[in-house]
Amino acid sequence: MKVRARPPRRNANRGFTLIEILVAMLILGIMSALAYGTYREARISAERTHESMQRTREIEFGMRTIVQDFAELVPRPIRDPLGQTHEPCLLAGVGTPDLVDLTRGGWSNTAGLQRSTLQRVSYQLVGTVLKRSYQTVLDPTSSNQPITQDLLTGVTHVELNYLDANQNWTNQWPPAGLPMPERLWTRPVAVEIIIEFKDWGRVRRLVEVAG
């Protein structure tokens, strides 16, 4: 009687072969690369969204500030720093160093300081930055230094137009030919604000001046 030879037993402790290890490492590498690419794209997208939201808030806040300043324009001229003459409540156009200088009301005083609620505000375009300055006193002297903030960045052009009582638009104020002392306290009926940004393009606001 023939006796069958029993097949050799496989070693229960047999490990992975080199090829199996290499294949596993290759799969792991591919999965890691895909996961990193997805994470990187998500991170870039989140950063861009955050930057876009910050930019939107900056422009909304800046435009709201400018609109509020013009909407709260009051007929209060100020003395020049030397105290010899008076400057109009609104001064803008050819021959002025700033885009516009104006006296506005409604300056909040939450600290209860002994000061006026009126404020003298100036706007300047320096490079691509629109700066807003204000005086701590309404009638400043040469020793008073204004407080300046960068209001809007990435600005390429600013245009301000003023509507007079005769329904004529002009880019300077007071209008030419207006006699004294009327030119000191006369305000426009409305103000057109046009600001061009590098990234946002053209933004326009029309403000009705109260009173």
What CATH number is given to the structural domain containing 154? 3.10.610.10
Q: What is the pLDDT of residue 13?
A: 59
Place of tokens 């604000």: 193
Q: Is the pLDDT of residue 10 over 60?
A: no
Model pLDDT for residues 103-136, shown as the tens digit of each residue: 999 888 877 788 889 999 999 999 999 999 999 8
Under the banding of pLDDT at 50, 70 and 90, the label for residue 27 is confident
Would 11 be classed as within a structural domain?
Answer: no
Mean pLDDT of 187-207: 97
Task: Report yes or no on 12 lying in a domain.
Answer: no
Q: How many domains does the chain have?
A: 1
Flag whether 175 is in a domain: yes
What distance lies between CA 45 and its chain's CA centroid? 22
Q: Specify if 79 maps to a domain.
A: yes
Reported confidence tier of residue 185, pLDDT bands at 50, 70, 90: very high
CA dist 163 to 120, 126, 159, 171, 200, Å?
21, 26, 13, 9, 26
DSSP string, 40-75: HHHHHHHHHHHHHHHHHHHHHHHHHHHHHHHHTB-S
Whether 96 is in a domain gets the answer yes
What is the average pLDDT value for the chain, to the nearest integer? Answer: 89
Does 28 map to a domain?
no
Q: Rounded to whole angstroms, how far apart are CA atoms 194 and 159?
A: 5
Q: Which domain holds residue 153?
A: 67-208
Task: Tell me, yes or no, whether 109 lies in a domain.
Answer: yes
Residue 2 lies in a domain: no
Q: Among 22-36, 62-76, 86-100, 140-154, where is mean pLDDT lowest?
A: 22-36
Give me the sheet containing 169-170, strands edge to edge.
169-170, 155-163, 190-197, 201-208
